Structures are given as C-alpha cells and as structure tokens.
Amino acid sequence: MELRRASVLTSSGHNDGWVLAAPKLNASSLDLRPLYYFVQVAEGGSFSRASASLSISQPVLSRFIRRLEDNLQVQLLHRNGRGVRLTEAGERLFEHADLILRNVSQAQMEITALRSTPVGNVSIALPPLLGGIMSAELVRRLRAKYPRVSIYLREGFAAETLDWLGSGTVDIGILFNPPHIATLISEHVLDDQLHLVGTPGSLNLAPGGAFPAKQLIDLPLVLPPAPHRLRTLIQDATRQAGVELKVEVEVTGTNTMLELVRQKVGYTVLPSALLHDEIKEGRLQSWPIVRPAIGTKLFVTTSMQRPRTLASKIVIKTINELFARYRKAAR
C-alpha cells in the first residue's frame, strides 16, 4: 500500500503528516471471480466444500484466494486442519463482496428483463404530411405490445428534422428523400407515387384513372407550403409538363388539408399508400398523376452519433411494420 506525504490541517495550523494513497482500480480489480470464490469458501467453511460446489480444483481455488490476498496485502482466511475461518479483514471483505455480487446479480436480472420488456423514451420527428395519418396507429401498436415504451412526436420539415438528428434532439427521423450525410443511417421503407385527391365524383374521371400533371393548373389546390418536400416534387413535375403550379390554400397539417378536401374546398396531392383507409371507406378518391409521374421515397433515419437503444429499435421495427402495411395497400 502506497504512503504519501500530505498536509494535515489541525486547530493549530498546518502540520505535515502521512496518509494512505487510495488504491487504483485496474483490470484485476474488476474481475469478480476472486470475490465470488472467496464468498463460496467463506460460506462453505473449507476449500474442499467450495471446490466441490464450484467444480474447480482446490489448487486453482487456492491460487485465486491467494491472489486476492496479495492484491489487498492482507490475510483474509485463517487456515487450519478443520477448514477456514475469516480474519477481521476477511469478515469486512465478505460483507462488501456479498453486497457487490448481489448487486451485480440484480443488475443482470434487470438488464435481462429489458430484453423481453423494453423500457424507455423515444423521440420521433416526422413530416407534417404523416403526422395525422400514422401517429395514432403507431401509438396504438406500441401501447398494445410495448406499454413501457413512450414516444414523443415532433412534426417538422426535412431541414428541421436533419438539424434535430444532428444535435441529438430526436432519436428517429422520418424523411422523404433525405440527402446523403455521412453521420446518418437511412433505411428505405416506402416507394410510392403521388396521387391527386378529391371527393368521390368530383372529377369526370374514373377512380384510379391517370391525371396529367399539366391539368393541375385547372384545379383549386390545397398543398403544404414551400420548402416542404412534397410541394417541391409537385412543382418540379408541373414545370416539366410546361405549366406553373397555382395553389389555392397552403396548409402544413395533413388532417386540415384532407378536411378541406372533404369539404370540397379543393384538391390535394399525397402518396397513394397513405390514402388507403380514406379511399376504402369511400370518403375520398384518388388518381395517379402522370406525364410525368411523381415518385417519392420515404426513409427512417437515425444518427450514428446517437446509439440505438432497445426502445428505439422497437419503435423502428414498429414503424417498418406500419409502412409494410402501406406498401401492401399500394400494390
């Protein structure tokens, strides 16, 4: 044990004195086997009983205990013909060792439990386009299967979501056509085509019939404002068709956008898979936009600088299951 000179403050001033230097932890300090073997020997009262219980030879067991005594520079056991008994230092170590091993065992049980019952908070950024469409279903699925996983939803455009991912403000971002950034991991979850959306019978066109992009200028449109990725895709398509897009109403929230369509204020443009339920129940109709067709790709994105927890992996898995349903609906 190292001694070092220290200045000791007393009532009369400073006097020189000697104090014990705190021992430093090293790799052998973190090896719990010697502690475990020591507890087994102490509880069994002999090396032979501990050896039989642990299924290791007495010489090996004795070497571990001797190494522990050498590291601590104290004698832990009194050895005699009938077995062993603890020294004063051994009794003190036994109390600590027993508590350490029980704490380690408890930690292992709690961590193992996390594998079967994920726990944690996960923050998700998603475009306003998806907020009203998938958030309720995502919450329902997580609540049913993983009740101890809580999510925090934030709506934001692509630039905001990328900033949040970079700063660690959110764990997961859902993005249309994200840029390639070295620190981001993007998983492709959906290919789709944009459809014109209106009320049943509002166009003299059969449901599912192709709608030319250049004819969008003839309709009152309800669309998200620039720089929303969806707005950019539509503007690019109409320019390719040789016309300039006209927008009647700009709305950031998908629910409001769809409600205005239901109320016959105008038409909107959305990915077809996300309209499945509304169309199936007869509240809306849709027509694929062509010449040019407007394709879109959706990605689930995380940052390499923010390691995925078990809870975030569960949320990503659930999001993938949701989009698998949308992919099936789009076929």
Tens digits of residue pLDDT in 111-155 = 766 666 778 889 999 887 677 677 888 999 999 999 989 999 998
pLDDT at 20: 44
Handedness of CA 38, 39, 40, 41 (dihedral sign): positive
Looking at domain 3-114, which CATH architecture does it have? Orthogonal Bundle (1.10)
- CB-side neighbour CA atoms (13 Å) of 197: 27
Per-residue pLDDT band at 302 (split at 50, 70, 90): very high
| Token duo for residue 319 | 């999001």
Separation CA 205–CA 72 (nearest Å)? 87
| Token duo for residue 108 | 């292992």
Separation CA 298–CA 287 (nearest Å)? 20
CA 164-166-171 angle, to 5 degrees, is 60
Bridge partner list, 49: none
pLDDT digits (tens, 9 = 90+) for 187-220: 998 888 999 999 999 999 998 899 999 999 999 9
Q: Residue 207: is the preceding peptide bond cis (ω within 30°)?
A: no
Name the pairing type of β-strands 172-176 and 295-303. Answer: antiparallel
181, 301 contact by CB (below 8 A): no
Average pLDDT, the chain: 84
Residue 24 phi, psi dihedral angles, 5° rounding = -95, 145
Separation CA 306–CA 172 (nearest Å)? 10
Burial (0-12, 13-18, 19+ Cβ within 10 Å), 125:
buried
Per-residue pLDDT band at 22 (split at 50, 70, 90): very low
Q: Where are the domains of the chain?
A: 3-114, 120-330
Residue type, 298: L
| Token duo for residue 329 | 């609906």
| Token duo for residue 134 | 């998938």
Q: What is the DSSP letter of 78?
A: E
Contacts of 250 (CB under 8 A, 6+ apart): 222, 223, 224, 225
Closest to 178 in 3D by CA, of 319, 293, 301, 295: 301
pLDDT of 262 above 90: yes
Closest to 289 in 3D by CA, of 193, 192, 222, 176: 193
Radius of gyration (C-alpha) of the chain in whole angstroms: 34
Separation CA 321–CA 327 (nearest Å)? 10
261, 152 contact by CB (below 8 A): no
Closest to 329 in 3D by CA, of 133, 140, 125, 151: 133
Name the pairing type of β-strands 249-250 and 222-223. Answer: parallel
Residue corresponding to tokens 């709305």:
251
pLDDT at 8: 41
pLDDT at 110: 65
pLDDT of 25 above 60: no
pLDDT at 37: 92
Q: Could you tell me the CA-to-CA distances from 290 to 167, 215, 219, 238, 268 in Å, in that order?
A: 39, 10, 16, 10, 15
Looking at domain 120-330, which CATH architecture does it have? 3-Layer(aba) Sandwich (3.40)
pLDDT of 13 above 50: no
